[in-house]
Homo-oligomer: A and B are copies of this chain.
Amino acid sequence: MRSKIAFLKQEEMPNQWYNIQADLPNPVQPYLHPGTGKPTVPDDWTPLFPMNLIEQEFSTERFLDIPEEVLEKLLIWRPTPLIRAYGLEKYLNTPAKIYYKNEAVSPAGSHKPNTAVAQVYYNKVAGVERITTETGAGQWGSALSFACSLFDMPLKVYMVKVSFEQKPYRKLLMNSWGAECVASPSPDTNFGRQVLAENPDTPGSLGIAISEAAEDAVTSKVKTKYSLGSVLNHVMMHQTVIGLETQKQMKMFGDYPDVVIGCVGGGSNFAGLSFPFIRDKIYGKEVSIIGVEPTACPTMTRAPFLYDFGDSAATTPLVPMYTLGHTFIPAPLHAGGLRYHGLAPLVSQLIKDELIEARAYDQLKTYEAGLIFARNEGIVCAPETNHAIAVAIDEALKAKEEGREKTILFNLSGHGLLDLSGYDAYMSGKLTDYSLPQEDIDKNLEALSAYPKPK
Which A residues have a C-beta under 8 Å from some C-beta of B? 1-10, 68, 71-73, 75-79, 81, 83, 86-87, 105, 107, 109, 146, 149-150, 169, 172-173, 175-178, 371, 374-380, 415-418, 420-421, 423-424, 427
In the assembly, what is the distance between CA of A378 and CA of B376, in Å?
Answer: 30
In the assembly, what is the distance between CA of A380 and CA of B79, in Å?
Answer: 20
Which B residues are in CB contact (< 8 Å) with A420?
169, 172-173, 176
* 21 pairs from A and B in contact (CB 8 Å cutoff): A3-B10, A5-B77, A7-B9, A76-B378, A77-B81, A146-B378, A149-B378, A150-B376, A169-B417, A169-B418, A172-B420, A172-B423, A173-B420, A175-B427, A176-B371, A176-B380, A176-B420, A176-B423, A177-B375, A417-B417, A418-B418
Which 3 pairs of residues, A with B, have the shortest CB-CB distance? A172-B420, A4-B75, A7-B7
B1, B71, B177, B376: the one contacting A374 at CB < 8 Å is B177
Q: Which residue of B lies closest to A108 (CB)?
A: B378
Which B residues are in CB contact (< 8 Å) with A73?
378
Which B residues are in CB contact (< 8 Å) with A149?
374-376, 378
Nearest Cβ in chain B — how far from A59, in angstroms?
A: 23
B3, B75, B79, B173: the one contacting A417 at CB < 8 Å is B173
Nearest Cβ in chain B — how far from A110, in angstroms?
A: 12
Which B residues are in CB contact (< 8 Å) with A376?
149-150
Q: Is the CB of A76 within 8 A of B83?
A: yes
Which B residues are in CB contact (< 8 Å) with A68?
1
A169-B169, A176-B374, A417-B418 given; name 9 further pairs at CB < 8 Å: A1-B72, A5-B77, A6-B10, A76-B377, A107-B378, A107-B379, A173-B380, A177-B378, A418-B418
Which B residues are in CB contact (< 8 Å) with A77?
5, 81, 105
Nearest Cβ in chain B — how far from A315, in angstroms?
A: 32
In the assembly, what is the distance between CA of A231 and CA of B421, in Å?
Answer: 33
Q: Which residue of B lies closest to A9 (CB)?
A: B7
Q: Is the CB of A79 within 8 A of B7?
A: yes
In the assembly, what is the distance between CA of A417 and CA of B378, in Å?
Answer: 17
Which B residues are in CB contact (< 8 Å) with A418?
169, 417-418
Q: Is the CB of A5 within 8 A of B374?
A: no
Which B residues are in CB contact (< 8 Å) with A169?
169, 417-418, 420
